[in-house]
Amino acid sequence: MALNLVVSLVSILISSIFPQPRAFQHPHDLFGLSPNSANFISSTSSPTSSTSIPLTPSIGAPPLAPALFVIGDSSVDCGTNNFLSTLARADRLPYGRDFDTHRPTGRFCNGRIPVDYLALRLGLPFVPSYLGQSGSVEDMIHGVNYASAGAGVIFSSGSELGLHISFTQQIQQFTDTYQQFVLSMGEHGANDLISNSVFYISIGINDYIHYYLRNVSNVQNLFLPWSFNHFIASTIKLQIKNLYTVNVRKVVVMGLAPIGCAPHYLWEYRSENGECIEEINDIVREFNFVMRYMIEELGEELPDSKIIFCDLLEGSMDIIKNHRRYGFNVTADACCGLGEYGGWIMCLSSEMACSDASNHIWWDQFHPTEAVNAILADNIWNGLHTNMCYPMNLEEMVVSKEK
């Protein structure tokens, strides 16, 4: 009941604030899912003034990987949804207010997301979103970000929010990119580039937020959490195998975040004193356990692959528990949002936001702040604050010599 109320309230707010979704002028292009049509790009008003950021790393050393490719949901979307008709868009302030450009980009954060920090660690520029770049090989040579907010492993997860590019569609888009590389640099060149590049996959949480926990299609009666977890994890595993066939060798698979601690659920489940909702975190914990096991298995199955699993719940719980050490004094309230814990109404305007996000763990009702993303990225890179990647960290994956 409460959820329905929120959804309708949000729809009213959205329709008054964004009377005309600016994208969605060329639905056939959207379903073609390709940025290559110059028509699509030039006739769609640019959602932000800068979707690709010409930030080059400060150190002159050669990059540790030729490119970074990103597949996922709002945890790593950097502008895809700016081109889609959906409620899940971060193209308005206060989103991006603490980013390098101090403008909204489509990132669901006040500033940088983990893949921004990791691109810089690899010696690469920030990776452009697939729909936000020209589609030329030159624009994609350092990597592409296909992630789309609201996307899940199950095609219909998150569809109540509007359009998104699902997991399978993102893999398809990458395959198109691969074909373009082959045409431009030959099979050998393309395979060399792809096999040395890093793939970052961060998806699955919407299958819980927008499907399982909402009990869409009676899913909770049809699947126990255990079998639902296995279904999602084995689908991800299968897609990594598909990527392997187009020469993907280095993959980072992110586990799910502790959304039982997210302001939205603290509000919905009426948390006392900001206590996390353990029944939700238990499902996430179990998923991460299953996923880690499957990734380990997969790494042994696929020759010459380096596939790692990073447990986002582990890394995030460390931050929540030891928040003072990390400089956070607001652990339960979203910086931007309305209602108890800022978890009732989504972040829609600057007036809804706190003035300083740097001492907050949560930016909005579902997403962490840039400060948290920086810590998590450090952990993924080399376990700086706490170890959360298995069987190795990203630095070890890219620095160790090829056989």
Ligand X SMILES: *[C@@H]1O[C@H](CO)[C@@H](O)[C@H](O)[C@H]1NC(C)=O
Provide the angle, in degrees to the nearest 10, between the axes of the packed helices 167-196 and 225-245: 40
Is residue 221 within the footprint of ligand X (CB under 6 A)?
A: yes
Minimum CB distance to ligand X, residue 332 (Å): 10
Give me the sign of the Cα torsion angle 49, 53, 54, 59: positive
Whole-angstrom Cα distance, residue 221 to residue 31?
33
29 is catalytic: no
Q: Is 255 within 8 Å of 313 (Cβ atoms)?
A: yes
Q: How far apart are the first and last CA of the chain?
A: 58
The residue whose two tokens read 């090989």 is 137
What value does the CA radius of gyration of the chain take, rounded to a whole number of Å? 20
Task: State which residue, 55 or 216, has the beta carbon closest to ligand X.
Answer: 216
CB of 220 to ligand X, least distance (A): 4
Choices 128-136, 213-221, 291-299, 390-398; region in contact with ligand X by CB under 6 A: 213-221
Q: Give the C-alpha separation, 356 to 109, whole Å.
A: 13
User: Which of 37, 85, 168, 220: binder of ligand X (CB under 6 A)?
Assistant: 220
By CB under 6 A, residue 50 contacts ligand X: no
Does 358 participate in binding ligand X (rule CB under 6 A)?
no
Q: Which stretch binds ligand X (CB under 6 A): 89-97, 122-130, 216-224, 312-320?
A: 216-224
- Per the annotation, the verdict on 367 as an active-site residue is yes
Q: Return the residue of 215, 349, 350, 400 that touches ligand X, per CB under 6 A.
A: 215
# residues contacting ligand X (CB under 6 A): 7
Residue 213 or 398: the one with the smaller Cβ distance to ligand X is 213
Q: Please state the closest distance from residue 51 (CB atom) to ligand X, in A.
A: 34
Indicate whether 49 belongs to the interface with ligand X (CB under 6 A).
Answer: no
Please report whether residue 273 would count as binding ligand X according to CB under 6 A. no
CB of 259 to ligand X, least distance (A): 18
91 flagged as catalytic? no
Token duo for residue 18:
């964004």
Q: Interface with ligand X includes 359 (CB under 6 A)?
A: yes
The residue from 91, 333, 364, 378 that is catalytic is 364
- Side chain identity at 270, as an amino acid letter? R
- Rounded to a whole number of angstroms, the minimum distance from the CB of residue 330 to ligand X is 5
Residue 306's H or E segment, with its range, is strand 306-310
Distance separating alpha carbons of residues 239 and 245, to the nearest angstrom: 10
The two tokens of residue 5 are 């109320």
Alpha-carbon distance 315 to 258, whole Å? 10
Tell me: does residue 8 bind ligand X (CB under 6 A): no
Does the protein bind ligand X through residue 4 (CB under 6 A)? no
* Distance from C-alpha of 306 to C-alpha of 134, rounded to nearest angstrom: 31
Residue 329 interacts with ligand X (CB under 6 A): yes or no: yes
Say how many C-beta atoms besides its own lie within 10 A of residue 149's C-beta.
30
Closer Cβ to ligand X, 243 or 361, answer by number:
361
The residue type of 13 is L
Binding of ligand X at residue 371 (CB under 6 A)?
A: no
List 74, 157, 271, 305, catalytic entry = 74
- Give me 278's structure tokens: 């353990």
Catalytic residues: 74, 364, 367
Which residues here bind ligand X, judged by CB under 6 A?
215, 218, 220-221, 329-330, 359
